[in-house]
Chain A
Amino acid sequence: MNAPERNLHFTSTNSGELARIVRVNEEIKAIVATAFRINLMALNAIFLAKRAGNAALGFGVLSNELRRFAQDLTRHMASLRDMTSGSVGSVTGVVQQQRNSAILAAAIRLSGDGVPGVREARKRGATRLAEQQAKLRTLDMRLRASVEETQQLVELGGVLARSAKIEAAYGGGFSPALMQVSTDFAEVIAQIKRSLEILGKERLVKD
């Protein structure tokens, strides 16, 4: 019997990879939003330090640094986003190739291996699939390397937030306000760290 086979509905294996890309994208979006928040917080901190005058000179310098950190982080995340956009294309290519190969295999099963041209068609399909999977693995490695770089940058952000807290102690009458701002910085950076940890565990391809 050669009616359409139920196994032509290939949904399970690679829909997982698309779902992983969606998760990675969502995490990146969360970090980008947080980086934007740090930028605004740093601007406010700069104004606050100016109002505090000489007592908050150090805090002002650190606020400037935190603002630069937020801008660097935004750039890093934009590059991560580009990578995940590219990987959607690669995963789709793999999904399509796997589906086509599986349907062709079903056709060959029905027709028998003796049909001319089927061996070559299988070989071509396997080569294309291997190429697309290799492309996806390369993207995955680049993504991981980029996440590691971003983690190092965020470590620096953590150090800046801690230093801002120390400087806040010397802020005289503005000390409680500066302390509050530096605590907020530390909390937001901790949140980014958690997101990056999740991102670091995600893989575009199964090991």
Chain B
Amino acid sequence: MKQAHCIYQDDTHRWLAIARDPTKPGYIIDTNEYVVVHGEEALLCDPGGIEIFPAVFSALSAECDPTRLAGIFASHQDPDIISSLALWLEFKPDLKCYTSWLWQSFLPHFGGQDSTFVTIPDPGMTIRLGGLELQAIPAHYLHSSGNFHLYDPKAKILFSGDVGAALLPPDHNELYVEDFSRHIRHAEGFHKRWMGSDRAKRDWCERVSRLDIDMMVPQHGAIYQGADVQRFINWFAALEVGVLRG
């Protein structure tokens, strides 16, 4: 059952993780959705695919007023990230979708019109949410050619999209990484195959190492917190990527 878990709260500033759904059919990849709430506004990060919309909407509504959604952040263009766009717009037609400029004319195939999209330039940008300043951090070629992560300097949370993703077995339903060494085995194959550029990987590792991060929240698998964040960055920096096997 998909549920929203509050992973950070400071007064009206909250991060909700709609993570891990053991009841979903096996043929659909499991995804995590995150909601940043600040004051009267909320931003939904990678809302997921059409098939899981009812589950995500229901989990989100249980914890936060969905009419407060001001925008959607789409880290990239994949269907498991953003194919539910038309349904969110069905609920709230004035929603803004923040995404790489690269996908401006591709995402309307899922829904929305010209006024729906706020394009993020390659170097990134600030996204304002009810007085909070979130940073769209470049993560191009990891894995998509137009790819952004979202950093909240106040909560010290980095939403890292597919970076940090782990394809966990069905019986691993923990919200947070409990044993890094055991967990990372489920992330290795994914990162080797999906992350195509070693140079982009090194750039990203340097960029995020400069950020103050308490939690790194990926789109698949469990959440890294505390020392596991740097552990992950070090592991990723050393990993050979862009390979089929090995």
Contacts and interface: CB of A to CB of B under 8 A. Distances in A.
Interface of A: 1-5, 8, 96, 100-101, 103-104, 106-112, 115-118, 121, 124-125
Nearest to A100: B90
Chain B interface mostly helix, strand, loop or mixed?
helix
A11 to B, nearest CB: 14
B143 to A, nearest CB: 24
Nearest to B51: A4
Interface in B43-94: 50-55, 57-59, 61-62, 65-67, 86-87, 90-93
B90 A117 contact: no
Contact of B90 (A4, A101, A112, A116): A101
B91 A121 contact: yes
Interface of B: 1-2, 21, 23-25, 28, 50-55, 57-59, 61-62, 65-67, 86-87, 90-93
Nearest to B55: A2
A118 B28 CA distance: 27
A115 B155 CA distance: 27
Closest 7 CB pairs of A and B: A110-B58, A107-B57, A117-B67, A107-B54, A3-B23, A111-B61, A2-B55
Contacts of A112: 61
13 contacts: A2-B23, A3-B25, A4-B51, A8-B51, A103-B53, A103-B54, A107-B53, A107-B58, A107-B87, A108-B57, A117-B67, A117-B92, A121-B90
Chain A interface mostly helix, strand, loop or mixed?
helix
Contacts of A115: 61, 65-66
Contacts of A124: 90, 93
A136 to B, nearest CB: 20
Nearest to B92: A117
Contact of A121 (B25, B51, B62, B92): B92
B52 A111 contact: no
A187 B25 CA distance: 59
Given A115-B61, A117-B66, A106 B93 contact: no
A99 to B, nearest CB: 9
A100 B86 contact: yes
B58 A103 contact: no
A103 B87 contact: yes
A4 B92 contact: no
B166 to A, nearest CB: 21
A13 B93 CA distance: 26
A87 to B, nearest CB: 22
A168 to B, nearest CB: 59
Given A1-B23, A3-B55, A111 B62 contact: yes
